[in-house]
Structure 1
Amino acid sequence: MRIGELAGIVGVTTRAIRHYHHLGLLPEPERRPNGYREYGLRHAVVLARVRRLTGLGLGLAEVRDVLADDAGRDLAEVLAELDADLARQETAIREHRARLRALLDDAEHGRLSAEGPVSPELAGFFGEMARASEGRQGPESVMAAKDREFLVLLDTTASPEDRDAFLAAMRPALGTPGAVERAHEVYARLDALAGADPADPRTDAAVDEAARALADSLPDSLLTELGTEDARALADGRGTRDDGFLEAFFADLAPAQAEAVRRAMRLLALRGVDTDTDMDTDTDTDPAAEGGGSG
């Protein structure tokens, strides 16, 4: 039979058959004197096996090894690996569906946050933040909203393990007496720097307030995550090992705000290196300056 007839019997295209010839999956018959290649039952059986194995999810290279009896890959081994991979996919799908159901429930009952759909873990944390701020008067801080946007970015792009570890470290701060009030004071100071020059004296005051508030409310386990190199990176405006989260955050701030936040984080990083480090905010303590840089 001709190639078109073979393709019709097995349910593939003639182009697929030629591709299988090229990959060594299907023997290619010699041309007859009439110029045509004649296929027989053996070719149809091999082609049917190729189709069955690819239908199970095997790649063409794996199929080639299975069909080659002396190639060293046992069919049982290949199928066991495929079964394990499908089991992992099944687990992931169940987790995704559980998150989808939670998000759908939030959407149906009007519980979506202002930032839109987020993971159930972050949605729960936002709820805790809202309850901790209940009773506070006045409009919401612009910087507080940026903080939440930063968490949304982290929630979407970081690994679930990193996100959960970060939220677990932040959660105790919500229960620290006075921590929420101090946070709003810091937000107010940073909001006031929106149109200020980085050299404005209010920048130093914001640095001092932010560093002390965070040091008092965040656990030492989170502060010690930053090392000496990270401290230097923060001091000269570079990011840390956060894969660009801080760069995106700083890019959305006014110059004086970015300067204040960066310097406050640098002080916290130094505290993680040396718990006896003075929390003085003078630029003379800048590690970049000590190393001969401009800071």
Structure 2
Amino acid sequence: MRIGELAEAVGVSTRAVRHYHRIGLLPEPPRRINGYRTYGVRDVLRLARVRRLTELGLSLDEAADVLADDEGRELGEILAEIDADLARQEVEIRRRRERLAELLRRAADGPLDADDAVSVPTAELLDRMTTAFPGSDAARRDREFLALLDTSGAAALVAEQYREVLHDPEVVARTAELYRRFDELATRSVDDPDVTELARDFAAAVPAELVTGIDPGLDLDAHPFAAAFLRDLAPAQAEAVRRVYGIWSGR
């Protein structure tokens, strides 16, 4: 049996057979005098097993384990792992479809932008912030930062903390004032007294739950992301952020 006949018998490509030879998954028979490889029934059976196992979701390495004579993992163990992984994928797919359905409903009311693809709790928080603090550059940066945090799920705590407080007119007014003062620092010098005053007021306004566990030894200017964030600010604003972090970390 030639390589093309072997591949046809099992329903794979000759390229796949040659790849299995290269990685040692399928033993390569010696070439005959005419230069051709000749395959037997055992090769057909092994190749068929490889195809069945990979169709079940096993990687080629896992298929090799199963087919090993004495050292391989039990097929039942690997299949159980695959089943568990498929179950997790089903949950994730269901969650994604629910989010897509929500975005499609919102798209019916008007155009979406890139940050609308965040999770529902974060999207609700961003909407409330847009309504509560229109025109503030500081609020805009915070919305962008929350959208970024959403990729790791870290924004969930923030969304939970602020979901209700942004309905409180007094809290909204105090926060809007902090944003206004921060925006004004864009034209101030680093040694302006408002830098220290704003840092103190801002640090006190943030719920303690959001700053517990921060690294007191972290140097913001040495951290790649924090340093990039500070460079995007005016000098006085960046200094205010450093001082806020110093207050939170007890320095």
| TM-score tier (shorter) | 0.7 to 0.9
- The aligned residue for residue 106 of structure 2 is 106
**SS in structure 2 opposite 1:192?**
helix
Per-residue Cα deviation, 1:93-127 (whole angstroms, up to 9, x for no partner) = 11111111112212222385795432211111123
CA contact (8 A) 2:215 2:249 kept: yes
Unmatched tracts of structure 2, length 5 or more: none
Q: Give the direction of change, closer, same or farther, for the CA distance of 1:181–1:113 in structure 2 (3 Å limit).
A: farther
Q: Which runs of 4+ in 1 moved over 6 A?
A: none
The equivalent position to 1:194 in structure 2, one of 182, 186, 192, is 186
Query: Comparing both structures, which one devotes a greater share of its residues to helix?
Result: 2
TM-score scaled by length of structure 2: 0.85
Q: Deviations for 1:126-154, whole angstroms, at most 9, x for unmatched residues?
A: 234356x3xx8xx6222221221221222
Q: Within 2, Cα distance between the matches of 1:214 and 1:172? A: 20
- Give runs of aligned pairs for residues 70-149 of structure 1, distance below 5 A: 70-110=70-110, 112=112, 115-130=115-130, 133=132, 140-149=135-144
What is the percent sequence identity of the aligned residues? 50
Q: Which residue of 2 aligns with 1:260?
A: 240
Amino acid at match of 1:10: V
Match of 1:290 in 2: none
Match of 1:282 in 2: none
TM-fit CA distance, 1:58:
0.9
* Deviation of the 1:5 alpha carbon: 1.9
Unaligned runs of 5+ residues in structure 1 are: 271-286, 288-295
Is residue 69 of structure 2 the alignment partner of residue 66 of structure 1? Answer: no
Task: State the Cα RMSD in Å.
Answer: 2.7
**Conservation of the 8 A alpha-carbon contact between 2:25 and 2:64:** yes
2: CA distance, partners of 1:8 / 1:149: 55
Say which of 185, 190, 201 aligns to 1:212: 201
Match of 1:174 in 2: 166
* Range with bigger deviation, 86-95 or 166-175: 166-175
**Cα distance in 2 for residues equivalent to 1:115 and 1:71:** 50
Cα 1:36–1:213 shift into 2, 3 Å: closer
Decide which moves more: 54-63 or 248-257: 248-257
- Check if 1:24 corresponds to 2:24: yes
Count how many residue pairs are aligned between Structure 1 and Structure 2. 251
